[in-house]
Homo-oligomer: A and B are copies of this chain.
Amino acid sequence: MLKDRTPTRIQKKNRAAILEAALEVFSAHGFRGATVDQIASQAGLSKPNLLYYFPSKEAMFTALLSELLDTWLDPMREIDADGDPLEEILAYVQRKLQMSRDYPRESRLFANEIVQGAPRMLDALSTDLRDLLTEKEAVLNNWMAAGKINQTHPKHLMFSIWALTQHYADFDVQVRMLMGSEDPFDAAPEFLETFYRRMLTPSS
Which A residues have a C-beta under 8 Å from some C-beta of B?
28-33, 108, 111-112, 114-118, 122, 125-126, 129-130, 133, 150, 152-153, 155-157, 159-160, 162-164, 166-168, 170-171, 173-175, 177-179, 184, 187-188, 191, 194-195, 198-199
Contact = CB atoms under 8 A, between A and B. Distances in A.
A176 to B, nearest CB: 11
Q: Please give the count of copies of this chain that the complex contains.
A: 2
Given A30-B32, A156-B184, 17 more contacts: A30-B116, A31-B33, A32-B32, A112-B112, A112-B116, A114-B171, A114-B174, A117-B173, A129-B178, A150-B198, A155-B179, A156-B191, A159-B167, A163-B171, A195-B199, A198-B199, A199-B199
Contacts of A133: 178
Nearest to A34: B32
Contacts of A115: 108, 111-112, 115, 170-171
The interface centre, meaning the residue of A133, A164, A171 with most chain B CB atoms within 10 A of its CB, is: A171
7 contacts: A30-B32, A32-B32, A33-B116, A125-B174, A153-B187, A155-B179, A157-B191
A115 B160 CA distance: 19
Contacts of A157: 191
Closest 5 CB pairs of A and B: A163-B167, A32-B33, A156-B191, A163-B163, A153-B187
